[in-house]
Structure 1
Amino acid sequence: MTEITKLTSAEIASIWTSYMNDSMSKCILGYFLKDVEDEEIRAVVQYAYDLSSAHIEKLTAIFQAEKIPTPTGFTYDNDVNLNAPRMYTDMFMLTYINHMAKVGLLGYSGFVSMSARDDIRAYYREGLNETSKLFERSTKTLLAKGLFVRMPYIAYPTKTDFVDTKKYLSGLSLFSKQRPLNAIEISHLSMNIQTNIMGSKLALSFAQATPRENIRKWMLRGKDISQKHVQIFSQTLLKNDINPPVPSDVCITDSTTPPFSDKLTMFHMALLSAAGTGNYATAAAASQRSDLILNYERLSIEIAMYTKDGADIVIKNAWLEQPPGTKDKEQLTKKKDTME
């Protein structure tokens, strides 16, 4: 009988992270299903909910087969109030799913590349395909309803060209005009505007509902940071006579009844902060103007400080579930010495 190869640390990290994210998504999408009215949007929400539910079942089976404790994650009983009044509009739900599908595409592609065992790679290849279909369905629905926000247009180039001066890389000179943004830089600025708008709306909704003052202040701080970053990126585009891709108001209602536990909302904001930091790192690496690179780096530090303060709140309330890790070998040695 052939022995099945044990999971690597990367594979354990991948399935653990996936379980946490999918259990959170199932809670949020289940709450959406309670309120969604538009039948076309409902179909997208239902598809996303079914994917998360199926993923949790498959991941649970993997944990059980490997005799690894299944994470606690998030559950309907502990983390969702289905009796809470409507918090989000149908438009918000659709935009949210489209945004989270983008995050999922990045996540699944990374999990595929880190996995070696056939069954784990197959799971993440399938997940990548499913998430791609979710992104496609949500995008088509946004387009059909006139809600999809396109990236800015630029004039088609008429010839190929090469950089012939180091000034192309400079964006900080006091004695010369900054060169115009290139298409790559425009696309990253535009994407980060849209992700920050979504983040600010979510933070506002969480602040609006939480009964805890310290979490309310932390959420509002997150909203302010996101809005500040939107302004910085938008001003950069406007200085180049490019209109920023700002959507119609993605609405939340005036309900103050918490639909989700503070544990879930804090986890969600940490997830968005991590995704945002990754987006900024990618944008900095792709950008060639030095002022843009410095902006992304300093704004990433601001996000890191915000995330650290959020982690302190989570730890204080014993909400931070610890990922699987190795044993402290030095501590084990000390314990052995004391026994002798």
Structure 2
Amino acid sequence: MQVKPSITSSELGTLWLTYQEKTMILRLLEYFIAKADDEKAKGIMTNLHEELEIYVGKIVQIYEEEGAVIPVGYTAQDVNKDVPKLYDNGFDIMFVRLLKEISMGLHSLNLTMTFREDINILFEDLTALTQKYFRICSQYLLEKGLLVRTPYVSMPKSVEFVKDNSYLSGVALNPFSQKRALSTVEISHLHKAIESNLTGLQMISGFAQCADDGEVKKFLNEGAELAKGIIKELSEVMIQTNLPIPQSPGGNATRSTVAPFSDKLMMYCTSLFCSFSMGSSSLGTAFSLRNDLPAKMFIFMKDIFEYAHKGAKIMIKNGWMEEPPQMEDRKQKMN
């Protein structure tokens, strides 16, 4: 029988990160399933929970075969299914859709850092699973009128090439003229950033009103203000180009102040969204040729990074930040 090679540092790290994310998602799903008042939404989330549990089990099996300690992640202690409903009007599937969007990026990246065939296959399968549920959630939200499509534009009738550097500055040669119209690529990233921040704002607003720790509550409220600022800035760019602004038609927080999740889980979830937001902003910067847009994105990334760093300090202070597996300190052993 062919012996499997030991897992590498990057494989250990990607599996650890995936375990953290998936156990968090399982806890979120357990609460949303318990509170679902739409049978179709409940069915989507129940099926996703069942399939994700299988992959968490596969990660545990790999850890056990390698003699590695199983991470703590997020357990039954981090969720309370018996508290009142915290979100309403389709937020559960809106939230799951955004989580699947984050997972798609993570699995694709993880796949590039793995070498052993069984771990390659695991991330390939997780990618396919994530894509499937992202599509299912999108179709559900479209059917319910809870997902806003990007703006329609006139179809191009000829191929055009950029004629001068004013295209990059976003203004025509006449300094008194308006900035050039946004390209469809730029519209895509602006729309996505606003849409993601709207869902993030709803999520963090709900978290803030039920957090137990005063410092956590203050931190989450700061996050809500940060999301509002980003939405406002990007919406103004779209208004200047006479484009409709994405608005969330649902997913509001209820008046409940009883926490369904531990402060530890809510802080980790917020941290995950910060990482996703920074990644999305960097992509938006890379594909935007109008200089004013990357300038805004750089400011957002700086603000999000500083906010995430503050959150990390709170997690460390409360003993909520689980350490990833570390390499041996060989220098210390040699002394």
TM-score, length-normalised on structure 2? 0.96
Q: Would the aligned equivalents of 1:171 and 1:292 in 2 still touch at CA under 8 Å?
A: no
> Which aligned pairs between 1:3-22 and structure 2 lie closer than 5 A?
3-22=3-22
> Which aligned pairs between 1:52-91 and structure 2 lie closer than 5 A?
52-76=52-76, 78-91=77-90
Q: Would the aligned equivalents of 1:41 and 1:90 in 2 still touch at CA under 8 Å?
A: no
Name the CA distance, whole Å, in 2 between partners of 1:164 and 1:266.
48
Name the CA distance, whole Å, in 2 between partners of 1:15 and 1:161.
46
Name the CA distance, whole Å, in 2 between partners of 1:120 and 1:297.
35
Q: Would the aligned equivalents of 2:150 and 2:188 in 1 still touch at CA under 8 Å?
A: yes
TM-score, length-normalised on structure 1? 0.95
Q: Would the aligned equivalents of 1:47 and 1:134 in 2 still touch at CA under 8 Å?
A: no
* Cα offset, 1:100, TM superposition: 1.1
Structure 1: state its 5+ residue gaps: 335-340
> 1:34 matched to which residue of 2?
34
* Cα offset, 1:329, TM superposition: 2.4
* Cα offset, 1:175, TM superposition: 5.2
Letter in 2 for 1:171: G
* Cα offset, 1:265, TM superposition: 0.4
> 2:134 matched to which residue of 1?
135
Q: Would the aligned equivalents of 1:99 and 1:195 in 2 still touch at CA under 8 Å?
A: yes
> 1:280 matched to which residue of 2?
281
Name the CA distance, whole Å, in 2 between partners of 1:284 and 1:167.
18
SS of 2:2's equivalent?
coil
> 1:201 matched to which residue of 2?
202
> 1:337 matched to which residue of 2?
none
Letter in 2 for 1:14: T
Name the CA distance, whole Å, in 1 between partners of 2:11 and 2:253.
37
Q: CA RMSD in A?
A: 1.4
Aligned positions, number: 333
* Cα offset, 1:275, TM superposition: 0.4
Name the CA distance, whole Å, in 1 between partners of 2:206 and 2:248.
18
> Which aligned pairs between 1:86-165 and structure 2 lie closer than 5 A?
86-165=85-164
Name the CA distance, whole Å, in 2 between partners of 1:172 and 1:54.
53
- CA deviations on 1:232-283 (whole Å, 9 max, x unpaired) are 1110001000011212132111111111110100000000000000000000
> 1:338 matched to which residue of 2?
none
Name the CA distance, whole Å, in 2 between partners of 1:275 and 1:149.
20
Letter in 1 for 2:205: L
Name the CA distance, whole Å, in 2 between partners of 1:55 and 1:6.
20
> Which aligned pairs between 1:302-313 and structure 2 lie closer than 5 A?
302-313=303-314
Q: Would the aligned equivalents of 1:38 and 1:90 in 2 still touch at CA under 8 Å?
A: no
Percentage of matched positions with identical amino acids: 29
SS of 2:122's equivalent?
helix
Name the CA distance, whole Å, in 1 between partners of 2:86 and 2:286.
38
> 1:238 matched to which residue of 2?
239
* Cα offset, 1:176, TM superposition: 4.9
Q: Would the aligned equivalents of 1:23 and 1:74 in 2 still touch at CA under 8 Å?
A: yes
Name the CA distance, whole Å, in 1 between partners of 2:51 and 2:243.
38
